[in-house]
Structure 1
Amino acid sequence: MDGEGSGQRQDERGLFALAVARVDLPPAIKDPTQPPAALSPDRLPMVSRRAPAAKRVRDRLVHAQAQAASAVQLEVDRGGAFLLVPVLLCAGAAIYFALYVEPGWMPLASLFFLFAAVTWMAREVAPAKYLALAALLLLGGALLGKVETWRADTKVIGGEITTRLTGRVETIEARENGRVRLTLTVMATERPKLRYQPDRVRLTARSVPKGLEPGAVVTGLARLAAPLGPLRPGSYDFAFESYLDGIGATGFFLKGPEVVGETATAPLGARFQAWIEAHRIDLAGRIRSHITGPEGEIAAALVAGVRGGIPEDVNETLRITGLAHVLSISGLHMALVAGVVIGSLRLGFAAFPGFASRHPVRKYAAIGALVALAAYLLISGSQVAAERSFLMIAVMLVALLFDRAALTMRNLAIAALIIVVLSPHEVVGPSFQMSFAATAALVSA
C-alpha cells in the first residue's frame, strides 16, 4: 500500500512539475567549496534574452492591431464611418484643384474604377477594404472637381481687345465712386467679331441709361481683358472664381452703353432672374431712403446683398478689424433669419394653446423657416456662400420635420456632402472651411 501510494504521489508530482531548463554550469559553480565571489562575469552562463523581447514586441503589436480593428469596426457599426465620406471627398477635390497640371479624364476614371474593383475584391479583408475605400473616395472627390470644371467650360478671352459688345443685363451694381458695374450675357460682338467669344462678362460703366433694368439688352464699345489672377502668391485668385462663375472677361465701357432691347424678349429663365434682380435693387433703394449714409449701405448689403455702395474707407476699416466677412451673406445671416422666423411662429402658436397642443407646431415653424430662407436666398442674390449656408440649415430643418435631432455631426456631414457634390471648388475657400470647422467644433463640444 505504501509503495503504491508513494508511486501514485510521485506520478502526480510528475504531472504538475515545472519543466526547468538544464544549463551546464562551469566547474567552479559545481564545486560547493568555492565561494561565489571568485567567479568572473565572463564565466557566467550565457542566457539569450533576444527571443523573449522580440516575442513581447510581437505580442504587443498583435494586441494593438486587434484593438485598432475592434475600434474601427465599432465606429462602422455605429455609423461613424459616414462622417469620413465628405472629408475624403473634400480632400480629393482640394488635391485636384491644387494640381499644377490638369489631369485628363482617362487617368482619373481608370484609377477610380481600379480602386472600385479593389474595394470589391477586398470586401472581406477589413484593413485592405478600408484603405481601398478611402482611396476610392479621394478619387471620387477629384472626379467631382473635374466634372465641375468641365461643366463650367468658361470661354476666357486670350488678351486685351476693344470691340462693340451687345449683351443682356444680368445684374446692376452701383459703386461708391458713382460708376456702375454690369454683368452681361454676351449676345454678339462686332468690329472685330470675336471668334472665341466669352459667354458672360463683367464691365464697369461711367454712366448707364436712366431706368436701366436687369434683362434689358445693351450695346457699347468695350475694352475687354482676361480676369486677373492672384496679386501675390497664395492670395485670392480672381481668375479661378471668375472661371467657375462663367465670367470670361472683365473690363469697362469706353462709352456709356445704350439700350437696344427690352426684357420682354428674353427667355423665361432670364426674365425670372431679371425680376428677382429688379426687386433686389428696389429693396436696396428703399433701405437707403430710410437709412442714409454708410449705415444705409451696410443695411442694404446685409438685407439685399448689394455691397457696391459701401465707401472704401468703411470697407478698409472692416478689413483691418477682421469684420469684412460680416457683410457677406452666409451662415450668420441665415441662422438669424431662421431663428427669428421659428421663434416668431412658435410664439404665435403659443397664443393658441388648443391648436398648439393638437398639432406639430414645431414642424410648422420649421417649414415656415425653410420658406423664409429660400426667399432670403433669392432676394440676397444667391451668392455661393449664401447657397452653402442655406443648404446647411435646410438639412437641419428637414431633420426636424422627421423628428430627428437638428444639430448633429451626421447632418453636418450630409450638408458637406451635398455641397461638395454640387460645388466642389468651395472646399478650397476659407469660407467653407471656417463655416464647417466652427459648426463641427460647436456640435462636438
Structure 2
Amino acid sequence: MAGRGRGTEDDGGITAGVSERLLFAGTAPFEATPVSVPVPRPATEILPPDGGASLQPPQLATIDRIRRQFRRASFSAFRLSVSEAAATELDRGIGFLLVPVFLAAGVILYFSLDVEPDLYRPLAAVALMAVCAIISRAWPKTHLAFMAALFCALGFVAAKVETWRAVAPMLGSEIQTRLTGRVVIAEEMANGRVRLTIDLVSTAHPELRYAPDRVRLSARAISSDMKVGSLVTGYARLLPPTGPVRPDSYDFSFDSYFSGIGASGFFLGDPKVVSASGPPFEAGMASAIENARENIADHIRST
C-alpha cells in the first residue's frame, strides 16, 4: 500500500503521485478554483491616478488608439440605428407626413432673409430640383434628398407668392381724419369696447392721398342698427401698425400686413351709420357669413 502513494506503473497508470486518502477525501486539489476574469473598462478609465503622467509614449499611443476605436464603433452603431429607424418609418409612410415640414422649412427660409428676393431664381430652383428628383428615382436615398429640397423650394415660392398676393397699402404716420367705410367685422372686447374692421371708402379733413384699404378701429359703443355690411362714418385717429415691442418678440405689423390691415386706431366719438344697405355683391357672401357668426356668438353669450 505504501508504494501506491508514489504513483508507479503497477497501480493502473497513476503518475501524479496522489495518495488514496486525497482521492476520496474531497480535498482542495480537486475543487474548482475561482478564476478572476478581467472586465474591459472604457477607454476613459484606463489611465492611472496620476492622469497618465507616468505612462510611456507607446502606452499613450495605445490608449489613444483604443479611444478612437471606441468612438468609431459608437458612431457606426448610431449611424446604423438611425438608418434602420429611417427605413422603418419610410415603410410606414412617414415620408408623406414630412411634406409640410419641408414646405415650412422653405417658408421660414424666405422670411429669415434680410432682403426681398425675386421670383425667378426660386422658380428655377423648383424646376431644377424637380428634374433631379425625376432622374434620381433609381437611387432611393438620393431621390428622397432631392424631393426634400424640392418641397423646400416650393415652400419658398409659396411664401413669395403669398407676400405678393397680400400686398396692402400701409399708413406711414399718425393722423386724424374723418373716414367713411363699410364694416367687415364687429367684435366685442373684454373692456366693453367694440373693435371694428372697416374697408375704407373715403377720407376727409384731411383727405389721405395714400389711404389704406382696410383699418381696424375701436369704439366706445355702436348703435343697435350697425351690423356687418353697414356703411359708417366717424372721426378717428389712425396709427401705423406697430412692430415688436422688444427685439425678437411678436411683430404685430407682420400679422396686419398679411391680414390686409394698413392702419389701426380708435374713433374719437361714436361712429354713425350712414347706410344700412348691404354691401356690393362680391362682398355679400362674406358679410352673410360674418353676420351668422356674430349671431351664434351673441346666442352663446346670452345663454
Q: Same fold (TM over 0.5)?
A: yes
Q: Which residue of the partner structure matches residue 273 of structure 1? A: 286
Give secondary structure in 1 for the equivalent of 2:262: strand
In 2: Cα distance, 1:184 partner to 1:277 partner:
13
Partner residue of 1:137 out of 136, 151, 164:
151
1:222 is aligned, of 198, 215, 236, to: 236
In the alignment, structure 1 residue 120 sits paired with structure 2 residue 134 = yes
CA displacement, residues 388-428 of structure 1 (integer Å, 9 cap, x when unaligned)? xxxxxxxxxxxxxxxxxxxxxxxxxxxxxxxxxxxxxxxxx
* TM-score normalised by the chain length of structure 1: 0.47
Match of 1:105 in 2: 119
Question: SS state of the match for residue 283, structure 2?
Answer: helix
Aligned match of 1:88: 102
Q: Give the direction of change, closer, same or farther, for the CA distance of 1:131–1:221 in structure 2 (3 Å limit).
A: same
Offset, 1:90: 1.6
Q: 1:83 to 1:262 in 2, by over 3 A?
A: same
Residue identity in the other structure for 2:201: M
**RMSD (CA atoms):** 3.1
Cα pair 1:198 1:248 within 8 Å, conserved: yes
Change in CA separation of 1:79 and 1:285 when aligned onto 2, cut-off 3 Å: closer
Task: Kindly state the Cα deviation for residue 245 of structure 1 after the two structures are TM-superposed.
Answer: 1.2
Amino acid corresponding to residue 203 of structure 1 in structure 2: L
Give the superposition deviation at 1:174. Answer: 2.7
Q: Structure 1 residue 167 and structure 2 residue 181: aligned? A: yes
Partner amino acid, structure 2, of 1:192? P
Residues 263 and 271, structure 1, Cα contact 8 Å, conserved in 2 = no
Alignment map for 1:30-429 (pairs within 5 Å): 75-264=89-278, 266-290=279-303
The aligned length equals: 234
Residue identity matched to 1:148: E
Task: Go from structure 1 to structure 2 and tell me whether the alpha carbon gap of 1:285 and 1:81 turns closer, same or farther (over 3 Å shift).
Answer: closer
Distance 1:140 1:254 in 2: 46
Unaligned runs of 5+ in 1: 1-49, 291-445
Go from structure 1 to structure 2 and tell me whether the alpha carbon gap of 1:173 and 1:75 turns closer, same or farther (over 3 Å shift).
closer
CA contact (8 A) 2:226 2:276 kept: no
Q: Greater strand percent: which structure?
A: 2
1:68 CA drift (Å): 7.2
In 1: Cα distance, 2:117 partner to 2:111 partner = 10
Given residue 79 of structure 1, which amino acid in structure 2 is its aligned partner? G
CA–CA separation in structure 2 for the residues paired with 1:125 and 1:289: 63
> Alpha-carbon deviation of 1:94?
2.1
CA distance in 2, matches of 1:178, 1:160: 25
Structure with max Cα Rg: 2
Partner SS state of residue 227, structure 2: coil
**SS in structure 2 of the partner of residue 120 of structure 1:** helix
- TM normalised by structure 2 equals 0.66
Please, which runs of 5 or more residues in structure 2 have no aligned partner? 1-64
In the alignment, residue 289 of structure 2 is paired with which amino acid?
I
Distance change >3 Å, CA 289–CA 77, structure 1 → 2: closer
The corresponding residue for 1:430 is: none
Separation in structure 2 between the aligned mates of residue 114 and residue 192 of structure 1, nearest angstrom: 53
How far apart, in 2, do the equivalents of 1:98 and 1:219 lie? 40
State the secondary structure of the residue aligned to 2:249: coil
Is the Cα–Cα contact under 8 Å of residues 214 and 263 in structure 1 kept in the other structure? no
> Is the contact between residue 89 and residue 141 of structure 1 (CA under 8 Å) also seen in structure 2?
yes
Q: Which moved more, 1:122-131 or 1:217-226?
A: 122-131
| Secondary structure in 1 matching 2:137 | coil
Cα distance between partner residues in 2 of 1:132 and 1:287? 51
Q: Deviations over 1:348-391 (max 9, x none)?
A: xxxxxxxxxxxxxxxxxxxxxxxxxxxxxxxxxxxxxxxxxxxx
* Deviation at residue 80 of structure 1 after TM alignment: 2.9
Hey, which bits of structure 1, 4+ residues long, moved more than 4 A? 63-78
Equivalent-residue separation in structure 2 for 1:213 and 1:284 (angstroms): 14
> In the aligned structure 1, how far is the partner of 2:106 from the partner of 2:193?
42
* Distance in 2 (alpha carbons) for counterparts of 1:246 and 1:76: 41
Shift of 1:86: 1.6
Query: What is the percentage of aligned positions where both structures have the same residue?
Result: 45
Indicate the residue corresponding to 1:296 in structure 2.
none
Inter-partner Cα distance in structure 2 for 1:180 and 1:218: 14
**What is the CA-CA distance between 1:105 and the residue it aligns to?**
0.9
CA distance in 1, matches of 2:86, 2:223: 66
Decide whether the 8 Å contact of 2:179 with 2:235 is kept in 1: yes
Shift of 1:78: 4.4
Secondary structure class of the residue paired with 2:106? helix
Change (3 A) 1:122 1:176: closer
Q: Is the 8 A contact 2:171 2:263 kept in 1?
A: yes
Q: Which residue of 2 aligns with 1:3?
A: none
Structure number with higher helix proportion: 1
For residues 205 and 130 of structure 2, the distance between their equivalents in structure 1, rounded to whole angstroms, comes to: 53
